[in-house]
A and B are shown apart, each in its own frame.
Chain A
Amino acid sequence: QSALTQPASVSGSPGQSITISCTGTSSDVGGYKYVSWYQQHPGKAPKLMIYEVSNRPSGVSNRFSGSKSGNTASLTISGLQAEDEADYSCSSYTSSSTWVFGGGTKVTV
């Protein structure tokens, strides 16, 4: 199973909005609603930010939103803040009953 494709880096100024893409195939991202997004600060464990394409867990800021179109999922961070600077990874369930992650995107504020 090939990793999902994410841009290596995305940057934005405080207050701006940025969008991170996550491209897969019809066997993963395009075929299922089980796409999730994770935030990871250096030396820390990942944190679930979005599940099932667009749902936010309790406690996650509403500045984070998710969507999907075809084989590409997206994470949008609005009102960018310094604390949002981190690595972001997407994940999807696959037709092989496995899970696959993206390569990760470094967000710079």
Chain B
Amino acid sequence: QVTLRESGPALVKPTQTLTLTCTFSGFSLTTSGMCVSWIRQPPGKALEWLARIDWDDDEYYSTSLKTRLTISKDTSKNQVVLTMTNMDPVDTATYYCARTTTVTNGFDIWGQGTMVTVSS
């Protein structure tokens, strides 16, 4: 059974750096075709794709947020980490991690999400 779970702070101050961890099970990021993305959703608004890391270490970033994002993986811990710098209240959202495989090329399994509020 494939599962993903997001963890990180519920509250961050403006200008701080957010670090989120996605811990997954049921698959390995060393297996060809496996990928993990981060996606966020502000309250009452649309989903927004942020970043993706692949089994072969390729990284992809949202064009508009590229300068603020870093994605990395620790295959020994089955974790993917997203850092976002210079947080602003508009970054308040539920942050999801989701698996993609090159079989479906869709986000086929999602974590339950973690709500992050940016406020002083």
**A interface with B by C-beta (< 8 Å):** 1, 3, 34, 36, 38, 45-48, 50-52, 55, 57, 89, 91, 93, 96-104
Contact = CB atoms under 8 A, between A and B. Distances in A.
Interface of B: 37, 39, 46-49, 52, 60-64, 96, 98, 104-113
B49 A99 contact: yes
B60 A97 contact: yes
Contacts of B109: 48
Nearest to B105: A34
A1 B63 contact: yes
A89 B62 CA distance: 18
Contacts of A91: 47, 49, 106-107
B104 A104 contact: no
Contact of B52 (A48, A99, A100): A99
Given A91-B49, A103-B46, A104-B47, A38 B107 contact: yes
Contacts of B64: 1
Contacts of A103: 46
